[in-house]
Structure 1
Amino acid sequence: MRYRRPAALLTVALAGALTLAGCGDGDSGGKDGADAKAGGSGTRSVTDANGKKVDVPAAPKKVVTLSEPTLDAALALGAHPIGATSGRGQSGVADYLAPKAKDAQIVANTAEPDLDKLAALRPDLILLDETVGAKRVQDKLSRIAPTVLTAKLNAPWRDAFAATADALGKKADGQKWLDTFDARLKAVKNGLGANAGAVTSVIRWQNGAPSVVGKGKGHVGDTLTALGLKRPQGQQGESSGHSEPVSLERLETIDGDWLFLGALGDRAAGEKGLKEATAVPNFGKLKAVEKHHVVVIDGSAWNSSGGPLAAEAVLTDVEKALAKKS
């Protein structure tokens, strides 16, 4: 479905956005005072993922995030977006973000935004990336409010996070978050004990079969690599898509010392997926299953497009399952 914008609504939304952008007080809400007070004009310039300069409010108050990574990053930085996109396969925001995103209205899905709903919110800043279809209507979004494309498709999640922090005027806060996360990564890695270097498989169980997720430099692959954990041969390298289906005749390719299994939803959906998997012939013969090394995960975080809070969820699950266990 495509959405059409009444001309009058667009004019009102654009006028409101320009008014909001010009009334910033220079307080970024973070520790980037120099950035937030650029020229003392209430606006500052950032460079988006396409190399385009965008003038954004120095202290944005009404932010709309049109992708999981930008919503995730904004919430990690203490911002409270007023509009957001629904999670993959979900009617609301991704389940792992829901507790922090109670104030966000759904104005898009991963395929496209609802421009009328979005304009009605009168945002002063719109954030998105190439993980969503909204990238195709960036010119229309820019007529509603300053719009920043934070990252290209498959960009490292850390770079995408840093770009979102910069757009929000919270660059220093973003770096502080990463420093804290990296310190915890190191501590968890040092506590893996006998599981150091373990072969770790990550799959999503959906429609009666598994799919590989978390390959490459996304929040899952990056976190597991940083912990020194290995991946099965079929889960190495970059992914050809968000997920890669695996034939039931090749179940052995998803085996490992540990198997992290989720679904397209929360942890309860993952439990249902595991129940379905155990009914499949040969699943019970996997080494990870025989050793009781199957960990049900919150798929809304592990299978998401990524972000700092998603990476934190991965780290927490790995720590609970593998740290100091044989």
Structure 2
Amino acid sequence: MSSHLPGRRRLASRLLTGLFALTLAGAAAGCGSSDDDSAPASSSKSTASSGAFPAKVATKFGTVTVDERPERVVALGWGDAETALALGVQPVGQSDWLAFGGDGVGPWAEGRYDRSPEKIGTLEPEYEKIAALRPDLILDVKSSGDQNRYDTLSKIAPTIGVPKGGDQYKTGWKKQTTMVAQALGLADEGDELIAETEKEFGAAAEEHPEFKDRTITLGSRTSVGWGAYVHGTDRVDFVERLGFENNPKVEAEAGEGFSVTVSEENLQMLDADLVVMAPIGIAASKISDDALYKAVPAVKDGHDVVFDDSDISQAFATNSVLSIGYALDKVVPLFADALK
């Protein structure tokens, strides 16, 4: 199933009123005033009263102090770049987790870069490339939480790592927004984004009371096999805010990771009031045409959604403060139709 409803892009103009643009460029200390033409400089839009420096951000690795407003930000964590962009700050480098290409962001963030950022590796960041960008702040907020990764990055520049309990990409969008905003000296703007996004969730839940207390499975299929996401991950948080309850059978298998493996022999485990599946690296038909999948009771009764639109699937997966509005516009109608 897919949706052709127009995206309202409700987050697009949040910071425009009463803001002023400040383009930040320059070389690292001791390099005079020459600009590095090989990489763009970060820019930010912020209110004159926003934040104060030094800014302190609590992380799993201790409290990180950002002494001055960052001018060259590198964003490595899942959705970290979009969070910075939502706050009006353009990273000079970023990881493109979902292989969007271009500026490395989804259509909900189109046009937010004045100059394309340098692309950085994801699971294995290219440390030399990061160092060459001369960052004064690294964002790795939604990440693995690996100590060696953090130690290496923090030798390059102050690094905002995962919060306590945020290992294995389990940093929620609210915490991510708060930490990134604090590091950028834009705490008030971060709070405003969070409040407006929560209102959007509340409005969607109120419009669809049929979601309340219904069970849901959020799964995926790759070339390797099937899986389902567990509580504490952004995908599940998204549907819980709409009133759904994550599949108890999936939760019973949850470990430290963000998903559980589901064998073909146990595909009935996916059954719930609503089954939502995303193809990863395969065609959507590999899910919807699969005989074992079609035998799942909810699927047999038509209570399932298979994302065959990559933009919708990626917005749902990204679940940043910038992509959530787009995802709500697209997936809520699909859920409602499938439950009828």
TM-score by length of 1: 0.76
CA deviation after TM superposition for structure 1 residue 282, in Å: 2.8
Q: Pick from 198, 215, 218: which aligns with 1:182?
A: 198
- Contact residue 138 and residue 147 of structure 1 kept, 8 A: yes
CA deviation after TM superposition for structure 1 residue 236, in Å: 2.8
Question: 2:177, 2:74 → 1: CA distance?
Answer: 16
Q: Supply the AA of the counterpart residue of 2:121.
A: A
- Contact residue 54 and residue 147 of structure 1 kept, 8 A: no
Q: Tell me which residue corresponds to 1:81.
A: 91
1:145 partnered with 2:157: yes
Question: 1:185, 1:251 → 2: CA distance?
Answer: 30
Q: Indicate how the Cα distance of structure 1 residues 14 and 108 shifts in structure 2: closer, same or farther if over 3 A, else same.
A: farther
TM-score by length of 2: 0.73
Question: 1:198, 1:210 → 2: CA distance?
Answer: 22
With 94-103 and 223-232 compared, the bigger mean Cα shift is at 94-103
Q: Pick from 279, 295, 303: which aligns with 1:293?
A: 303
Question: 2:240, 2:334 → 1: CA distance?
Answer: 16
Question: 1:249, 1:230 → 2: CA distance?
Answer: 24
Structure 2 unpaired stretches of 5+: 1-26, 36-42
Q: Pick from 210, 215, 218: which aligns with 2:226?
A: 210
1:236 partnered with 2:251: yes
Q: Pick from 328, 332, 338: which aligns with 1:315?
A: 328
Q: Indicate how the Cα distance of structure 1 residues 251 and 179 shifts in structure 2: closer, same or farther if over 3 A, else same.
A: same
Question: 1:134, 1:117 → 2: CA distance?
Answer: 19
CA deviation after TM superposition for structure 1 residue 64, in Å: 0.5
Question: 1:146, 1:282 → 2: CA distance?
Answer: 49
- Contact residue 110 and residue 133 of structure 1 kept, 8 A: no
Q: Indicate how the Cα distance of structure 1 residues 239 and 216 shifts in structure 2: closer, same or farther if over 3 A, else same.
A: farther
Q: Supply the AA of the counterpart residue of 1:103.
A: S
**Superimposed CA distance per residue, residues 212-251 of structure 1 (whole angstroms, 9 cap, x where no aligned partner):** 12x2222222222222112222233755313321011111
Matching of residues 72-221 of structure 1 within 5 Å: 72-87=82-97, 93=104, 95=106, 99=110, 100=112, 103-111=116-124, 113-129=125-141, 131-132=143-144, 136-151=148-163, 152-153=166-167, 154-207=170-223, 209-213=225-229, 215-221=230-236
Higher helix fraction (1 or 2): 1
CA deviation after TM superposition for structure 1 residue 120, in Å: 2.1
Q: Supply the AA of the counterpart residue of 2:297.
A: K
Question: 2:80, 2:126 → 1: CA distance?
Answer: 17
**Superimposed CA distance per residue, residues 181-233 of structure 1 (whole angstroms, 9 cap, x where no aligned partner):** 111111111111434332221111112632112x2222222222222112222
SS at match of 2:245: coil
With 311-320 and 153-162 compared, the bigger mean Cα shift is at 311-320
Structure 1 unpaired stretches of 5+: 1-11, 21-26, 39-43
- Contact residue 216 and residue 236 of structure 1 kept, 8 A: yes
- Contact residue 208 and residue 277 of structure 1 kept, 8 A: no
Question: 2:128, 2:28 → 1: CA distance?
Answer: 10
1:51 partnered with 2:62: yes
**Superimposed CA distance per residue, residues 91-137 of structure 1 (whole angstroms, 9 cap, x where no aligned partner):** 784656773567221122222x2122112222222111362477524
- Contact residue 13 and residue 119 of structure 1 kept, 8 A: no
Q: Tell me which residue corresponds to 1:261.
A: 277
SS at match of 2:277: strand
Question: 2:261, 2:239 → 1: CA distance?
Answer: 21
SS at match of 1:33: coil
- Contact residue 204 and residue 299 of structure 1 kept, 8 A: no
